Amino acid sequence: MRARSGWLLAIAPLAMGCSRRPHVGARGDAGPAVVLVERAPPPARDDAMARLPATDEVEPNDDILHAQTLAPGTAVRANLEARPGQPADVDWYQVAIPATANAGPSVLRIEARPETQAAPLRLEAHEVDGKPITDAEPVPDAPAGAATVIPNLAVDAGRTIALMVTAARATPVAVPYRLAVTVAPLGADEEREPNDRIEQASPLALGVAESGYFGRRGDRDWLRLAPDAGVPDGGALSIELSAVDGVSAEVRVGEGRHAIAEARGGRGEEVRMKNAPAAGALLLEARAGANVDERWSLRVNAAPAIDGAEREPNDKPSLANPLSGDIGQVAGWLWPGDHDVYRLTAPASPSALRLELVPPAGVDVKLERLNDKGSVLLKVDEGKVGQTERIEGLAVAPGESVLVRVSARAHDTAFDAPYQLSWVFGAVKGQ
């Protein structure tokens, strides 16, 4: 896994038919069982907005003090006026959540959809005193006329929020639109938006499939394990973030604002880590794309550290895992963009080092020797998929430090089953 000091676990999906991860064969002991998060199809969305009871906009509503009341579960038919040479039209609404006794938090889905293709819409949520809460614009690459959506704004009973609608870009013509607000109970396994700052981190439980949305470009979701979450002393985390169509996501792990380790995936790909540091905070981030209809699903498990296995982070010489002894073996895991660095110390007499890297089925691995600055001194990448890579008879001086890096072909993963790296310091021929 790639790791970076000075960063935190970032975060923050389910299977449309099948998950978009490369096939990894089961080989050897893969460590504790991992429950895979499968990708499910997004919910079918008909034009539910059109079926909500709707009222007409009442002007003036161009500032927060004159915000029009909009009840949860209803819609409003409205119009952004054309104002050549004047400031663009802005429409304000206020939504009050009933203060029902014993009611838990709710989640609002707020949609603003233009009735024409004149201009996309911008949507903002504010406290009633004007303090911004969150905002949204159409997701990247959305078709003309697509709704702008805040998919899951968490609100407590008795709270009132203000909504502002305006055109996302200047337009010389009026923009008719419909604004709808629906409400549902906030599930125990849902993120609580907004949570784009660590101070707003949503609670995270071990072994539970938490869910949420990458609802806008660059969306960041912070989650935090409770101190009594059940992570064993010296334990490690296994993290699986499901794929979301059109989104390239990144996961970062760490305490406070400092990331210890991170992993990322391509568009529509899972992000997974294993044997990661047992830090309390995770950050999920949409590096590219957004999706307001398909949820991400995150599962985090904890287990005691695995003997004879790598410990993340170990992606650079300064973080290399030390390996001791004249002969030995270590297991490790890889995911897209990940690489593992180890440091071996030669015995007190001249010796020859033999290295052997055995991948699980379906994985094409690479073995390199580095210097302390991370430059490659020797590379072995001769084997094909599933074949062993070897370095034979590498002469080393007494007590010399040898840095070795293990990596795989892009998009290959050694996650369900580990690779095995073995080493032997032997006598130099002729001595």
pLDDT tens digits along 158-198? 999 999 999 998 888 999 999 999 999 999 999 999 999 99
Q: Give a yes or no: residue 54 inside a domain.
A: yes
Is 25 contained in some domain? Answer: no
**Looking at residue 161, what is its pLDDT?**
97
Residue 210 lies in a domain: no
Query: Does residue 42 lie within any of the structural domains?
Result: no
Domain boundary among 185, 220, 245: 185
**Which residue range forms the structural domain that includes residue 65?**
48-185
Residue 63: inside a domain: yes
pLDDT digits (tens, 9 = 90+) for 224-260: 998 888 888 888 999 999 999 999 999 999 876 678 8
How many structural domains compose the chain? 2
228 located within any domain: no
pLDDT digit string, tens, across residues 328-346? 999 999 988 899 999 999 9
- Picking from 157, 185, 213, the residue at the C-terminal end of a domain is 185
For residue 335, give the CATH number of its domain: 2.60.120.380
Query: ∠ CA 110-116-121 to the nearest 5 degrees?
Result: 40
Residue ending a domain, choose from 150, 185, 220:
185
**Rounded to two decimals, what is the model's pTM?**
0.81
Give pLDDT, residue 47: 65
Our measurement of the distance from residue 34's CA atom to the centroid of its chain's CA atoms, rounded to an integer in Å, reads 18
Q: Which long-range contacts (CB under 8 A, 24 or more apart) does 265-268 make?
A: 265/241, 265/336, 266/336, 266/411, 268/20, 268/243, 268/244
CA angle, 102 then 104 then 107, to 5°: 150
Find the Cα–Cα–Cα–Cα dihedral 135, 151, 265, 414, rounded to 10°. Answer: 150
- Report yes or no on 57 lying in a domain: yes
